[in-house]
Chain A
Amino acid sequence: MLSFDATNINILVLIALMALVTLATRLGGVYIMSLVPLKPRVQRFIQAMSGSVLIAILAPMALAGDAAARFAMLATIVVMLVVKKPLIAISCGVLAAALFRAY
């Protein structure tokens, strides 16, 4: 693949390109939607897609992640179902991963 020496200028140009690529992803979705008529079918698509993004991030994390990751997510689920406070649930999840790895 295309490779460059890691000189100062090359690195700065690369970081600038990285910023542009990321910017394009941040602005592109809104821009594309501004060209598409918001018909009911399109609305159902993006509505269903919004939850699906989260599920698609989480499912591989849960099923393909390490045991600590699974333990953390399990702790989050249990605490969330019991006390229904996201911040407490997240803290317990993180703590669970830390404890799992410590022992």
Chain B
Amino acid sequence: MPHVGSTLYRLNQQIAWQGFVTMLPIAFFVSAFGAAFGLAAAQAGISDTHTLTMSVLVFTGTAQFAVLDLWGSQLPALTILVTLFAINARHLLMGATLFPWLRHLPTKQRYLVMLFASDANWAMSMQAFNRKQPGLGILFGGGIALWLFWVVGTWVGVYFGNVISNPEAYGIDMVMGCFLLALVLDTEKNAHTYLVWAVAAAASLLAYWYLPENSHVIVGAIAGGLAGTFGGQQDAEL
């Protein structure tokens, strides 16, 4: 548990702004991803207004792309919502991992911060916390940057679609993967970490190959978590 006093989980306008600025380079990449989504949505026959509304309200890159495949003149609503939930269920785990720090905030602020939680800002804030550095600025301010650039990117894609007609050709689909990978490499590791990661990797691959689609993140993460509870280490570092 954090004993380092309240600076670790302080949050105000200035701290959020710093997080916003820190996230800008990644947010820039995310806007390219957003433009690709805007274009793909237009090609799937979704109206401009609907596409923008979706990016503003739903704000979840991978899952929005997955939904496009299901979209047509008929909307399989239940399938769409179940797919969305399966891909986004990782947010549940992210929220849980953030709880030891978020619990120091007033309840309303806690949930306000989580409105903008996504892969990149969650991963960066967890990394900060694990290094005993404050992480709520990057979580909240950085999250707002990601949301804003996702929406602006979508808008660009919808209205100037041909800017990025083939995002894969520029490697844009690999931005988030490379980013998360860089963060993993930048983490302090010991033998116990590697054991947990091996379990998580094996479980996620098995789920990817043998379980229903989109279940691999949840399965891998929970398997890794369970491996962590059985590890020899008694000093839970949080």
Contacts and interface: CB of A to CB of B under 8 A. Distances in A.
Given A25-B88, A30-B114, A56-B217, A89 B182 contact: yes
Given A14-B75, A49-B93, A60-B204, A30 B59 contact: no
Given A32-B96, A47-B238, A51-B187, A98 B88 contact: no
B21 interface: no
Interface residues of A, number: 73
Interface in B181-238: 181-187, 193, 196-197, 199-201, 203-205, 208-209, 216-229, 231, 233-234, 236-238
Nearest to A10: B75
Interface in B45-85: 46-47, 50, 53-54, 57-60, 63, 67, 71-81, 84-85
Contacts of B106: none
A26 B146 CA distance: 15
Contacts of A95: 171
Interface residues of B, number: 101
A72 B196 CA distance: 24
B222 to A, nearest CB: 7
Nearest to A91: B178
Given A18-B67, A56-B216, A87-B25, A49 B99 contact: no
Interface in A21-74: 21-23, 25-34, 38, 40-41, 43-61, 63-64, 68-69, 72-73
A7 to B, nearest CB: 9
A83 to B, nearest CB: 11
Interface of B: 1, 25-26, 29, 46-47, 50, 53-54, 57-60, 63, 67, 71-81, 84-85, 88-100, 102-103, 110-111, 114-115, 117, 119, 123, 126, 168-175, 177-187, 193, 196-197, 199-201, 203-205, 208-209, 216-229, 231, 233-234, 236-238
